[in-house]
Amino acid sequence: MTLSLDAVSVAGPVDLPLAGEQDVQAACGIMHVHGRRFGRPTPLGLDYASIVAAELAELGAHALTFAQARGIPLHAVSTSLAQAALLAVAQYLAAATADDPAEPHSPGGPPFHSAEGVAFEIEALDPSVWQRFWATFGADDQAVSQGWRPFLHRFATATCPLPSLPEVLAAHPMAWITEVAHRTGMTLVRVSDQPVCHGPAFVLSGASGDQRRGCPAELLPLSGLVVLESCRRVQGPLAGHLLRLLGATVLRIEPPGGDPSRWVPPMAGDTSARFRALNWGKDVVEIDLSTPGGRQEALDLATSADVFLHNWAPGKAEQWSLRPADLARVRPGIVYAHASGWGAELGANPPLGTDFVVQAYSGVPPSLMTIVDVFGGVVCAHGIVTALTRGATRVDSSLLSAAGRLNSWQRRRCAEPLTVPVCDDLTALAADPRFARALIQDDCVLVSSPWEFTS
């Protein structure tokens, strides 16, 4: 695929003379965030803003078609590279403008290399796995202990300084490292030098029958539609967030006590800034889905929903009897969307499906910015809106399918000279009046909708 940017402007509502991809990455904070691990602003290895904007443009076009089918008088939609870039840095922007002082961002980060020079990623969500893995190699206890926090937080900070640990692995052959990872439960994926790009970004199936919803009073494509969402972390919540920006009412199912992500610093008011960036404006209901009563409550809510969106781990929907057929039974025609890590590609027990592991597996030019998570959210929302438009009832997308879509765009890496200064401070960007029309000043700075619809 080549980029077709006819329907997409470069700067959109940003009042800067942005000439193209490089300028957008520089001015809108992508170079800054991606470059944290290197200690200096650095362009991504792909035309990320252009690719995200192209996907947003297609999504917006489908939303427009859907709006028109519903009798909502909208006639045009626009987006821009700058809005796509700001969407990608939204979490980092929210964190930089939160109440707590920003954490310092020391450079550093994976991938690791074996003695033979094989590059690989590791992932653990459990500190005991991390500890067992490094202990087997005789790594220094203090380095192991002090490394856990930056490793855990690299999703939020885009950097991961791990003094002395990469050197430990560089002394061992790949076969032994793989063996230790297997024994200790550490996820290990080699960095692929072959970009994976087979398969579509999302798969639609099922047929809703004639379920076109009536025209609501508001004027956005999904106004009047209800999305029931049970999602954590980034990809799923971002998909729900985009649907809300298209006008849907999004009801989030959170566990009793609320999603733990709500309390992760830095805070903006009484909620985590990063959480706000992905979930502002959603309604919330606390339900314990591990109980039969809780699951019944979710099904009751689904009876008045148009979309059910989740990003549960493999097997969870079956275990909870909340499969597509279970939802369709209580709400015929409901769109059932699953935003997973790997889809069905790696079988029933895939490795941990986090952004950086999927980057490694799929050969996406690596970044500690969550570029696959964000794009996965866009792709999932795109699938859902397409399903609504075409009357499909099931959407399956994954970080892997999103990575494949990223890879399918030509790697042309714009090299034109910069015509704008490089942003090296998200706080300054947030306060810059030239960005005011693209941002919302709240308890922290939030990013406005990436689309403008006109009637």
Partner 1 sequence: MAVTVSIPTILRTHTGGEKSVSATGTTLAEIIDDLENNHGGLKARLVKEGALHRFVNVYVNDEDVRFAGGLTAPVKDGDNVTILPAVAGG
**What is the binding site for partner 1 (CB under 8 A)?**
125, 127-128, 131, 141, 144-146, 148-149, 152, 155, 232-235, 257-258, 260-265, 267, 270, 352, 354-356, 370, 373
The least CB distance from residue 420 to partner 1, in Å, is: 29
The least CB distance from residue 433 to partner 1, in Å, is: 31
The alpha carbon of 163 is separated from its chain's Cα centroid by a whole number of angstroms, namely 28
Nearest to residue 92, comparing CAs of 359, 421, 360, 430? Answer: 430
The least CB distance from residue 428 to partner 1, in Å, is: 26
**Residue 388: Cβ-neighbour burial (10 angstroms; 0-12, 13-18, 19+):** buried
The least CB distance from residue 92 to partner 1, in Å, is: 12
How far is it, in rounded angstroms, from Cα 443 to Cα 428?
A: 16
Name the CA radius of gyration of the chain, rounded: 22
**Of 225 and 357, which has the nearer Cβ to partner 1?**
357
Two tokens at 306?
């148009």
* Total residue length of the chain: 455
**Of 232 and 295, which has the nearer Cβ to partner 1?**
232
The least CB distance from residue 429 to partner 1, in Å, is: 22
**Of 230 and 235, which has the nearer Cβ to partner 1?**
235
**Of 144 and 378, which has the nearer Cβ to partner 1?**
144
The least CB distance from residue 370 to partner 1, in Å, is: 5
Nearest to residue 212, comparing CAs of 76, 337, 72, 397? Answer: 72
**Of 264 and 420, which has the nearer Cβ to partner 1?**
264
**Of 180 and 371, which has the nearer Cβ to partner 1?**
371
The least CB distance from residue 245 to partner 1, in Å, is: 21
**Of 153 and 213, which has the nearer Cβ to partner 1?**
153
**Of 122 and 144, which has the nearer Cβ to partner 1?**
144
The least CB distance from residue 128 to partner 1, in Å, is: 7
**Of 136 and 261, which has the nearer Cβ to partner 1?**
261
**Residues ≥6 apart with Cβ < 8 Å to 42:** 31, 34, 35
The least CB distance from residue 235 to partner 1, in Å, is: 8
**Of 68 and 146, which has the nearer Cβ to partner 1?**
146
What are the CA-CA distances from residue 375 to residues 236, 330, 355, 404, 442 (Å)? 11, 31, 10, 11, 25
The least CB distance from residue 152 to partner 1, in Å, is: 5
**Of 91 and 393, which has the nearer Cβ to partner 1?**
91
Torsion of CA 377, 99, 433, 441, to 10 degrees: 60
The least CB distance from residue 410 to partner 1, in Å, is: 26
Two tokens at 246?
């298209």
